[in-house]
Chains A and B, each alone.
Chain A
Amino acid sequence: MLFKRKKTLQKPEIPTASLGDITFLMLIFFLVTSSFNTEMGLQIVLPEESKETITVLSKNIVHVRINRFGDVRIENDPVEWTSVADKAIELLNQPNGDSLIFSIIPTRSAKYDYMIRVFDQLKIAFEKTQKKEKISLSPAEDDEM
């Protein structure tokens, strides 16, 4: 008898007061964690297709060649691709460093990745020496046999 009366007294209820807080927290969580597609890349300005040719002293051009195996040569000196930046910094710190132009010349079947690696290294070199970036992408050379 006593048992029965107690049961009917209490009304079951789910507390809804904190529901707003929960959804608000979820909203903030998704706002913070959703990352919008940001694009990262290396910027370069291609040379203009002009009729007149610009003459550059050939001693101011540094040829950086990349073959299909990913071997890098700076002015015919073989260089490990990871030390291209150091080599470039060394060249940029020479007396004529300000007028140097780096020309990247990959062979036709060299991987795109090799070119990006070298390009990246040269960008780092210019960034570190705080000089105006002068990197050009030359047309691909034929593969040597």
Chain B
Amino acid sequence: MKKHFEKVEETSPSIPTSTTSDIVFLLLIFFMVTTVFRTEQGLRIDLPQALSSKKIETKNLAHVWIGYDGDRGVVSIDDRIVPIGQIKNIIEQKKRVNPNLIVSIMADKNTPYWISNDVFGQLIKANALHVSLSAKKVNAIK
């Protein structure tokens, strides 16, 4: 009887570890495939800084990029440069698709205010009243 038990103890238990790297590799590929990066490129702008900047949900967001070229305002929506007068129609269309639309204004900090003023005017006409003014969150403004 005693001998029989001793026989069982002879096999040392071990978990096969040679396949863990395959599993991890599969996980890596899974995350690489499922992560979606933002596709909109927008304009090259320098965002203003703000202390009270808050995180905003990206789900219902439509971006309006505002830059300037000399005296002229440049507005880009969905990577297309649009005349300021056209913004109302584009945003109205987006608002029809998603009634909870929040318009995110990505404006360069050095743009003269009148450009954003005109953009706000267009947004009011399109009845897209929920707006987020994008600003880098900082703890102190230089």
- Of the candidates B102, B114, B127, B135, the one whose C-beta lies within 8 Å of that of A109 is B114
Give chain A's interface residue range (CB within 8 Å of chain B). Answer: 35 or more
A123 to B120, CA, bound (A): 19
Q: Min CB distance, B22 to chain A, in Å?
A: 8
Residues 102-130 of chain B: 1 if any A CB is under 8 Å from the residue's CB, otherwise 0?
Answer: 10110111111111110011011101011
On chain B, which size bracket covers the interface? 35 or more
Interface secondary structure of B, over-half rule: mixed
* B84 at the binding interface (Cβ < 8 Å): no
A-B CB contact pairs (8 Å), 29 listed: A16-B18, A27-B28, A31-B31, A37-B37, A39-B134, A40-B55, A40-B136, A42-B50, A43-B54, A43-B130, A45-B130, A48-B127, A106-B117, A107-B113, A108-B112, A108-B113, A109-B114, A110-B113, A111-B111, A111-B112, A112-B113, A112-B116, A113-B109, A115-B116, A116-B50, A117-B48, A120-B50, A139-B117, A140-B117
